[in-house]
Amino acid sequence: MPSLTDATATGLCSFVDASPSPFHVCETVAAELTAAGFVRLHETQGWPAAPSRYFLVRGGSLVAWSTEASGREAAPFRIVGGHTDSPNLRVKQHPDLESAGWQLVGLEPYGGAWLNSWLDRDLGISGRLSVRDGNGLQEKLVRVDRPILRVPQLAIHLSEDRKGVQLDPQRHVNAIWGVGTSPRSFLAFLADEAGVEADAVLGWELMTHDLAPSAVVGLRGELVSAPRLDNQGTCYAGSRALLAAAEEPGDAIPVLALFDHEEVGSMSDRGAFSDLLNSVLERIVLARGGGREDFLRAMAGSVCASGDMAHATHPNYPDRHEPSHRIEINGGPVLKVNQNLRYATDAAGAGAFALACDRAGVPLQRYVHRADLPCGSTIGPITASRTGLSTVDVGAPQLAMHSSRELMGAADVPAYADALAAFLTPTD
Protein backbone atom coordinates (compact mmCIF):
# COMPACT_ATOMS: atom_id res chain seq x y z
CA MET A 1 0.00 0.00 0.00
CA PRO A 2 1.41 3.45 -0.89
CA SER A 3 2.33 5.77 1.99
CA LEU A 4 -0.32 8.23 3.12
CA THR A 5 2.30 10.82 4.06
CA ASP A 6 5.74 11.97 2.97
CA ALA A 7 7.35 11.18 6.33
CA THR A 8 10.89 9.79 6.20
CA ALA A 9 13.72 9.02 8.61
CA THR A 10 15.87 11.78 7.11
CA GLY A 11 12.94 14.17 7.38
CA LEU A 12 12.66 13.37 11.08
CA CYS A 13 16.39 14.03 11.52
CA SER A 14 16.06 17.44 9.88
CA PHE A 15 13.01 18.24 12.02
CA VAL A 16 14.76 17.36 15.29
CA ASP A 17 17.93 19.26 14.40
CA ALA A 18 15.84 22.36 13.62
CA SER A 19 13.96 22.14 16.93
CA PRO A 20 16.19 22.22 20.04
CA SER A 21 13.47 23.64 22.33
CA PRO A 22 9.65 23.53 22.53
CA PHE A 23 9.55 27.07 21.12
CA HIS A 24 11.62 25.98 18.14
CA VAL A 25 9.37 22.93 17.64
CA CYS A 26 6.45 25.32 17.27
CA GLU A 27 8.47 27.52 14.92
CA THR A 28 9.41 24.51 12.77
CA VAL A 29 5.85 23.17 12.58
CA ALA A 30 4.43 26.66 11.97
CA ALA A 31 6.75 27.18 9.00
CA GLU A 32 5.66 23.87 7.47
CA LEU A 33 1.99 24.64 8.03
CA THR A 34 2.29 28.13 6.57
CA ALA A 35 3.97 26.71 3.46
CA ALA A 36 0.97 24.37 3.08
CA GLY A 37 -1.58 27.19 3.23
CA PHE A 38 -2.39 27.25 6.93
CA VAL A 39 -3.18 30.68 8.39
CA ARG A 40 -1.95 31.67 11.84
CA LEU A 41 -4.65 32.91 14.21
CA HIS A 42 -4.27 34.74 17.51
CA GLU A 43 -6.38 34.04 20.57
CA THR A 44 -7.03 37.73 21.24
CA GLN A 45 -8.63 38.26 17.82
CA GLY A 46 -11.91 37.18 16.28
CA TRP A 47 -11.66 34.06 14.15
CA PRO A 48 -12.89 33.90 10.55
CA ALA A 49 -15.93 31.82 9.63
CA ALA A 50 -14.59 30.76 6.25
CA PRO A 51 -13.56 27.08 5.99
CA SER A 52 -9.79 26.95 5.75
CA ARG A 53 -6.60 25.70 7.41
CA TYR A 54 -5.58 27.37 10.66
CA PHE A 55 -3.15 27.16 13.56
CA LEU A 56 -2.23 29.05 16.70
CA VAL A 57 0.76 29.08 19.03
CA ARG A 58 0.66 29.60 22.79
CA GLY A 59 4.24 29.69 24.09
CA GLY A 60 5.71 26.24 23.44
CA SER A 61 2.37 24.71 22.41
CA LEU A 62 0.65 24.63 19.03
CA VAL A 63 -2.81 23.62 17.81
CA ALA A 64 -3.62 23.28 14.09
CA TRP A 65 -6.73 22.17 12.22
CA SER A 66 -8.52 22.18 8.87
CA THR A 67 -12.23 22.90 8.34
CA GLU A 68 -12.14 22.73 4.55
CA ALA A 69 -14.07 19.45 4.23
CA SER A 70 -16.92 19.41 6.73
CA GLY A 71 -19.82 21.85 6.55
CA ARG A 72 -21.64 20.61 9.64
CA GLU A 73 -21.48 22.84 12.73
CA ALA A 74 -21.45 19.72 14.94
CA ALA A 75 -18.87 17.82 12.90
CA PRO A 76 -16.74 15.63 15.21
CA PHE A 77 -13.03 16.12 15.71
CA ARG A 78 -10.22 13.63 15.21
CA ILE A 79 -7.28 14.80 17.29
CA VAL A 80 -3.64 13.75 17.41
CA GLY A 81 -2.04 15.01 20.61
CA GLY A 82 1.62 15.10 21.56
CA HIS A 83 4.14 17.16 23.48
CA THR A 84 6.94 19.48 22.44
CA ASP A 85 9.16 19.27 25.53
CA SER A 86 11.87 16.74 26.35
CA PRO A 87 13.92 16.11 29.51
CA ASN A 88 17.07 18.22 29.59
CA LEU A 89 19.19 20.57 31.71
CA ARG A 90 17.84 24.10 32.09
CA VAL A 91 19.45 27.39 33.10
CA LYS A 92 18.87 28.70 36.64
CA GLN A 93 17.77 32.26 37.43
CA HIS A 94 21.21 33.19 38.80
CA PRO A 95 23.38 31.10 36.48
CA ASP A 96 26.83 32.65 36.97
CA LEU A 97 29.04 30.49 39.18
CA GLU A 98 32.74 29.96 39.93
CA SER A 99 34.39 26.95 41.53
CA ALA A 100 38.03 25.85 41.82
CA GLY A 101 39.12 28.26 39.10
CA TRP A 102 36.39 27.26 36.64
CA GLN A 103 33.61 29.50 35.31
CA LEU A 104 30.30 27.64 35.46
CA VAL A 105 26.69 28.00 34.34
CA GLY A 106 24.17 26.82 36.93
CA LEU A 107 21.85 24.17 35.50
CA GLU A 108 19.04 22.04 36.89
CA PRO A 109 17.29 18.96 35.49
CA TYR A 110 13.96 19.35 33.73
CA GLY A 111 11.64 16.35 33.79
CA GLY A 112 12.99 12.85 34.20
CA ALA A 113 16.32 13.51 32.51
CA TRP A 114 18.67 10.49 32.56
CA LEU A 115 21.47 12.58 34.03
CA ASN A 116 24.47 10.39 33.23
CA SER A 117 23.68 10.69 29.52
CA TRP A 118 24.31 14.46 29.66
CA LEU A 119 27.89 14.15 30.87
CA ASP A 120 30.83 14.88 28.55
CA ARG A 121 28.70 16.15 25.69
CA ASP A 122 29.17 19.35 23.71
CA LEU A 123 26.09 21.39 24.56
CA GLY A 124 24.42 24.39 22.96
CA ILE A 125 21.69 26.62 24.36
CA SER A 126 18.21 27.40 23.09
CA GLY A 127 14.92 28.85 24.30
CA ARG A 128 13.33 32.27 24.52
CA LEU A 129 13.97 35.64 26.11
CA SER A 130 11.39 38.17 27.31
CA VAL A 131 12.85 41.53 26.30
CA ARG A 132 11.84 45.08 27.23
CA ASP A 133 10.47 46.96 24.21
CA GLY A 134 9.71 50.51 25.31
CA ASN A 135 6.92 50.09 27.86
CA GLY A 136 6.10 46.63 26.59
CA LEU A 137 7.69 43.26 25.98
CA GLN A 138 8.74 41.26 22.97
CA GLU A 139 9.76 37.62 22.69
CA LYS A 140 13.10 36.64 21.20
CA LEU A 141 13.97 33.08 20.31
CA VAL A 142 17.59 32.31 20.96
CA ARG A 143 19.72 29.43 19.75
CA VAL A 144 23.45 28.87 20.09
CA ASP A 145 24.68 25.87 18.13
CA ARG A 146 28.28 26.19 19.28
CA PRO A 147 29.88 23.95 21.93
CA ILE A 148 29.90 26.47 24.75
CA LEU A 149 28.89 24.21 27.64
CA ARG A 150 30.07 20.86 28.98
CA VAL A 151 29.16 18.91 32.13
CA PRO A 152 32.32 16.90 32.93
CA GLN A 153 32.31 13.36 34.30
CA LEU A 154 34.37 12.54 37.38
CA ALA A 155 37.57 10.64 36.51
CA ILE A 156 37.27 6.93 37.29
CA HIS A 157 40.35 7.19 39.52
CA LEU A 158 38.46 9.58 41.83
CA SER A 159 35.42 7.36 42.13
CA GLU A 160 35.13 5.47 45.40
CA ASP A 161 34.72 2.03 43.83
CA ARG A 162 35.52 2.69 40.14
CA LYS A 163 31.96 1.62 39.29
CA GLY A 164 30.49 5.04 38.76
CA VAL A 165 29.16 8.00 40.73
CA GLN A 166 25.75 8.93 42.11
CA LEU A 167 24.87 12.25 40.48
CA ASP A 168 23.44 14.95 42.73
CA PRO A 169 21.18 17.20 40.60
CA GLN A 170 22.11 20.19 42.76
CA ARG A 171 25.90 19.83 42.69
CA HIS A 172 26.94 17.68 39.75
CA VAL A 173 25.21 19.04 36.62
CA ASN A 174 26.59 22.57 36.46
CA ALA A 175 28.32 23.21 33.14
CA ILE A 176 31.84 24.51 32.53
CA TRP A 177 32.10 27.31 29.99
CA GLY A 178 35.38 28.95 30.81
CA VAL A 179 38.39 29.31 33.10
CA GLY A 180 38.77 32.05 35.68
CA THR A 181 38.34 32.96 39.33
CA SER A 182 35.33 35.27 38.82
CA PRO A 183 31.96 34.44 37.24
CA ARG A 184 31.20 35.52 33.69
CA SER A 185 27.72 36.85 32.76
CA PHE A 186 25.86 34.14 30.87
CA LEU A 187 22.82 36.32 30.23
CA ALA A 188 24.98 39.11 28.81
CA PHE A 189 26.44 36.58 26.41
CA LEU A 190 22.98 35.41 25.32
CA ALA A 191 21.68 38.97 25.01
CA ASP A 192 24.54 39.70 22.65
CA GLU A 193 23.67 36.55 20.66
CA ALA A 194 20.08 37.76 20.42
CA GLY A 195 21.09 41.30 19.45
CA VAL A 196 19.59 43.02 22.50
CA GLU A 197 20.94 44.89 25.52
CA ALA A 198 21.62 42.73 28.56
CA ASP A 199 19.57 44.94 30.91
CA ALA A 200 16.59 44.61 28.56
CA VAL A 201 16.32 40.86 29.23
CA LEU A 202 13.61 40.54 31.90
CA GLY A 203 12.79 36.83 31.74
CA TRP A 204 14.01 33.64 30.09
CA GLU A 205 13.34 29.96 29.51
CA LEU A 206 16.67 28.47 28.42
CA MET A 207 17.81 24.90 28.02
CA THR A 208 20.75 22.87 26.80
CA HIS A 209 20.80 20.63 23.75
CA ASP A 210 23.24 18.05 22.44
CA LEU A 211 25.06 19.37 19.36
CA ALA A 212 25.73 16.01 17.70
CA PRO A 213 23.45 15.93 14.63
CA SER A 214 20.70 13.38 14.23
CA ALA A 215 21.58 10.53 11.89
CA VAL A 216 20.24 7.47 10.11
CA VAL A 217 22.48 4.68 11.38
CA GLY A 218 22.90 0.91 11.35
CA LEU A 219 24.39 -1.45 8.80
CA ARG A 220 21.53 -0.88 6.36
CA GLY A 221 20.35 2.48 7.62
CA GLU A 222 17.51 0.88 9.55
CA LEU A 223 17.79 3.06 12.68
CA VAL A 224 17.49 6.72 13.67
CA SER A 225 19.85 8.11 16.34
CA ALA A 226 18.72 11.50 17.61
CA PRO A 227 18.03 13.61 20.66
CA ARG A 228 14.46 14.42 21.74
CA LEU A 229 12.75 11.57 19.88
CA ASP A 230 10.51 11.58 22.95
CA ASN A 231 8.46 13.32 21.82
CA GLN A 232 9.55 15.04 18.62
CA GLY A 233 9.01 11.71 16.88
CA THR A 234 5.31 12.37 17.41
CA CYS A 235 5.54 16.09 16.60
CA TYR A 236 7.06 15.23 13.22
CA ALA A 237 4.75 12.30 12.46
CA GLY A 238 1.71 14.26 13.64
CA SER A 239 2.51 17.30 11.50
CA ARG A 240 3.01 15.12 8.41
CA ALA A 241 -0.27 13.35 9.22
CA LEU A 242 -2.18 16.63 9.52
CA LEU A 243 -0.78 17.91 6.22
CA ALA A 244 -1.88 14.68 4.53
CA ALA A 245 -5.31 14.84 6.19
CA ALA A 246 -5.82 18.41 4.97
CA GLU A 247 -5.24 17.24 1.40
CA GLU A 248 -7.42 14.10 1.66
CA PRO A 249 -9.98 14.90 4.38
CA GLY A 250 -12.31 12.36 5.93
CA ASP A 251 -15.58 12.78 7.82
CA ALA A 252 -14.14 14.66 10.82
CA ILE A 253 -12.21 17.86 11.45
CA PRO A 254 -8.51 16.89 11.78
CA VAL A 255 -6.67 18.56 14.66
CA LEU A 256 -3.04 18.47 15.79
CA ALA A 257 -2.46 19.51 19.43
CA LEU A 258 1.16 19.73 20.62
CA PHE A 259 1.53 20.67 24.29
CA ASP A 260 4.47 21.92 26.30
CA HIS A 261 5.31 20.73 29.85
CA GLU A 262 4.21 17.09 29.59
CA GLU A 263 7.49 15.97 31.15
CA VAL A 264 6.73 17.90 34.35
CA GLY A 265 3.02 17.15 34.73
CA SER A 266 1.32 19.50 32.22
CA MET A 267 0.14 21.94 34.92
CA SER A 268 0.71 25.23 33.09
CA ASP A 269 -1.06 27.79 30.93
CA ARG A 270 -0.12 25.82 27.84
CA GLY A 271 0.09 22.25 29.13
CA ALA A 272 -2.49 19.53 28.58
CA PHE A 273 -4.11 20.46 31.92
CA SER A 274 -4.82 23.98 30.63
CA ASP A 275 -7.91 25.22 28.78
CA LEU A 276 -6.01 25.34 25.48
CA LEU A 277 -7.55 22.38 23.65
CA ASN A 278 -11.09 22.86 24.98
CA SER A 279 -11.14 26.56 24.14
CA VAL A 280 -9.76 26.01 20.62
CA LEU A 281 -12.26 23.27 19.83
CA GLU A 282 -15.20 25.36 21.08
CA ARG A 283 -14.05 28.40 19.12
CA ILE A 284 -13.79 26.27 15.97
CA VAL A 285 -17.47 25.35 16.37
CA LEU A 286 -18.49 28.93 17.20
CA ALA A 287 -16.57 30.39 14.25
CA ARG A 288 -18.42 27.98 11.95
CA GLY A 289 -21.79 29.27 13.12
CA GLY A 290 -22.53 26.63 15.75
CA GLY A 291 -23.53 27.09 19.36
CA ARG A 292 -22.86 25.42 22.68
CA GLU A 293 -25.15 22.52 21.83
CA ASP A 294 -23.28 21.94 18.57
CA PHE A 295 -19.97 21.99 20.46
CA LEU A 296 -21.16 19.40 22.96
CA ARG A 297 -22.48 17.19 20.15
CA ALA A 298 -19.16 17.49 18.31
CA MET A 299 -17.19 16.55 21.40
CA ALA A 300 -19.39 13.53 22.07
CA GLY A 301 -18.48 12.11 18.67
CA SER A 302 -14.77 12.97 18.78
CA VAL A 303 -11.72 10.78 19.45
CA CYS A 304 -8.17 11.73 20.48
CA ALA A 305 -4.99 9.75 19.86
CA SER A 306 -2.43 10.70 22.51
CA GLY A 307 0.85 10.19 20.69
CA ASP A 308 4.00 9.57 22.71
CA MET A 309 6.96 7.31 22.17
CA ALA A 310 6.83 3.71 23.41
CA HIS A 311 9.37 1.34 24.95
CA ALA A 312 10.84 -1.15 22.51
CA THR A 313 12.06 -4.39 24.08
CA HIS A 314 15.67 -3.79 25.10
CA PRO A 315 18.03 -6.58 23.94
CA ASN A 316 20.34 -6.14 26.95
CA TYR A 317 17.50 -5.96 29.49
CA PRO A 318 14.72 -8.23 28.17
CA ASP A 319 13.78 -9.11 31.76
CA ARG A 320 12.56 -5.52 32.31
CA HIS A 321 9.68 -6.07 29.87
CA GLU A 322 6.40 -7.94 30.04
CA PRO A 323 7.34 -11.37 28.60
CA SER A 324 4.32 -11.81 26.33
CA HIS A 325 4.34 -8.25 24.96
CA ARG A 326 7.52 -7.98 22.94
CA ILE A 327 7.78 -4.65 21.08
CA GLU A 328 10.01 -4.62 18.00
CA ILE A 329 11.85 -1.74 16.39
CA ASN A 330 10.51 -1.31 12.83
CA GLY A 331 7.54 -3.42 13.89
CA GLY A 332 4.92 -0.69 13.51
CA PRO A 333 3.06 1.72 15.80
CA VAL A 334 2.36 0.73 19.41
CA LEU A 335 -0.98 0.69 21.22
CA LYS A 336 -0.32 1.33 24.93
CA VAL A 337 -2.63 -0.11 27.59
CA ASN A 338 -2.46 0.19 31.38
CA GLN A 339 -5.21 -1.15 33.63
CA ASN A 340 -4.53 1.59 36.21
CA LEU A 341 -5.02 4.30 33.56
CA ARG A 342 -1.48 5.58 33.31
CA TYR A 343 -2.46 5.29 29.65
CA ALA A 344 -6.00 6.31 28.64
CA THR A 345 -6.67 3.51 26.14
CA ASP A 346 -9.99 1.71 26.41
CA ALA A 347 -11.61 -0.84 24.09
CA ALA A 348 -13.31 1.79 21.91
CA GLY A 349 -10.13 3.83 21.47
CA ALA A 350 -8.10 0.71 20.77
CA GLY A 351 -10.57 -0.25 18.07
CA ALA A 352 -10.43 3.18 16.44
CA PHE A 353 -6.64 3.13 16.20
CA ALA A 354 -6.55 -0.52 15.07
CA LEU A 355 -8.90 0.40 12.22
CA ALA A 356 -6.62 3.31 11.31
CA CYS A 357 -3.57 1.04 11.17
CA ASP A 358 -5.50 -1.41 9.01
CA ARG A 359 -6.49 1.36 6.61
CA ALA A 360 -2.90 2.60 6.49
CA GLY A 361 -1.56 -0.90 5.84
CA VAL A 362 0.82 -0.88 8.81
CA PRO A 363 1.17 -3.50 11.57
CA LEU A 364 0.02 -2.73 15.11
CA GLN A 365 1.88 -3.73 18.28
CA ARG A 366 0.35 -3.82 21.77
CA TYR A 367 2.31 -2.74 24.84
CA VAL A 368 1.74 -3.50 28.51
CA HIS A 369 4.20 -2.39 31.21
CA ARG A 370 5.47 -4.90 33.73
CA ALA A 371 3.07 -4.94 36.68
CA ASP A 372 5.93 -4.80 39.19
CA LEU A 373 7.54 -1.66 37.72
CA PRO A 374 6.16 1.89 37.90
CA CYS A 375 4.62 2.92 34.60
CA GLY A 376 5.14 6.33 33.03
CA SER A 377 2.22 8.35 31.72
CA THR A 378 1.29 10.72 28.90
CA ILE A 379 -1.10 13.53 28.07
CA GLY A 380 -3.70 10.83 27.34
CA PRO A 381 -5.31 10.52 30.80
CA ILE A 382 -5.13 14.29 31.26
CA THR A 383 -6.78 14.99 27.90
CA ALA A 384 -9.47 12.40 28.50
CA SER A 385 -10.38 13.79 31.92
CA ARG A 386 -10.19 17.47 30.89
CA THR A 387 -12.23 17.10 27.69
CA GLY A 388 -14.33 13.96 28.11
CA LEU A 389 -13.01 12.73 24.76
CA SER A 390 -12.57 9.07 24.03
CA THR A 391 -8.77 8.79 24.06
CA VAL A 392 -6.26 6.16 22.98
CA ASP A 393 -2.54 6.15 23.84
CA VAL A 394 -0.23 5.26 20.97
CA GLY A 395 3.38 5.74 19.95
CA ALA A 396 6.40 4.58 18.00
CA PRO A 397 8.90 2.20 19.64
CA GLN A 398 12.30 3.41 20.80
CA LEU A 399 15.20 2.64 23.12
CA ALA A 400 16.92 4.88 25.70
CA MET A 401 13.88 6.99 26.53
CA HIS A 402 14.82 10.18 28.46
CA SER A 403 18.47 9.85 27.52
CA SER A 404 20.10 12.84 25.85
CA ARG A 405 20.33 10.59 22.78
CA GLU A 406 17.64 8.07 21.78
CA LEU A 407 17.17 5.34 19.15
CA MET A 408 14.20 4.29 16.98
CA GLY A 409 13.55 2.43 13.75
CA ALA A 410 13.78 4.21 10.40
CA ALA A 411 10.82 2.27 8.98
CA ASP A 412 8.71 3.20 12.00
CA VAL A 413 8.81 6.89 11.02
CA PRO A 414 6.56 6.62 7.93
CA ALA A 415 4.50 3.82 9.49
CA TYR A 416 3.70 5.96 12.53
CA ALA A 417 2.85 9.01 10.41
CA ASP A 418 0.65 6.95 8.08
CA ALA A 419 -1.27 5.45 11.01
CA LEU A 420 -1.88 8.93 12.46
CA ALA A 421 -2.99 10.24 9.04
CA ALA A 422 -5.50 7.41 8.73
CA PHE A 423 -6.71 8.10 12.26
CA LEU A 424 -7.30 11.78 11.38
CA THR A 425 -9.37 10.88 8.30
CA PRO A 426 -12.08 8.38 9.35
CA THR A 427 -14.62 7.34 6.75
CA ASP A 428 -18.09 5.87 7.25
DSSP string computed for 303-351: EEEEE--EEPPPTT-GGGS-TT----TTS--EEEE-TTSSS---HHHHH
> For the chain, which residues score pLDDT lower than 70?
70-71
Longest pairwise C-alpha distance within the chain: 71
* CATH homologous superfamily, domain 88-210: Aminopeptidase i, Domain 2 (2.30.250.10)
Give the pLDDT score at 2: 81
DSSP state of 182: S
Overall pTM surpassing 0.85 (yes/no): yes
HSE, side-chain direction, 13 A CA sphere, residue 187: 21
User: Residues annotated in the binding site for Zn(2+), as ranges?
Assistant: 83, 157, 402
279-286 — which CB contacts under 8 Å span 24+ positions?
Answer: 279/43, 280/56, 280/63, 280/65, 280/255, 281/77, 281/255, 281/387, 283/47, 284/47, 284/65, 284/67, 284/77, 284/253, 285/73, 285/74, 286/47
Give the pLDDT score at 265: 95
Same fold? 9-86+227-424, 88-210: no
pLDDT (tens digit, 9 = 90+) per residue, 251-301?
899 999 999 999 999 999 999 999 999 999 999 999 999 999 999 999 999
The fold of the 9-86+227-424 domain, in CATH, is: Aminopeptidase (3.40.630)
Element (H, E) at 58: strand 53-58
Give the pLDDT score at 201: 96
DSSP state of 150: B
User: Residues annotated in the binding site, as ranges?
Assistant: 83, 157, 402
Give the pLDDT score at 286: 95
What's the one-letter identity of residue 162? Answer: R
Q: How many angstroms separate the CA atoms of 331 and 337, rounded?
A: 17
Give the pLDDT score at 412: 98
Give the pLDDT score at 404: 97
Domain ranges of the chain: 9-86+227-424, 88-210
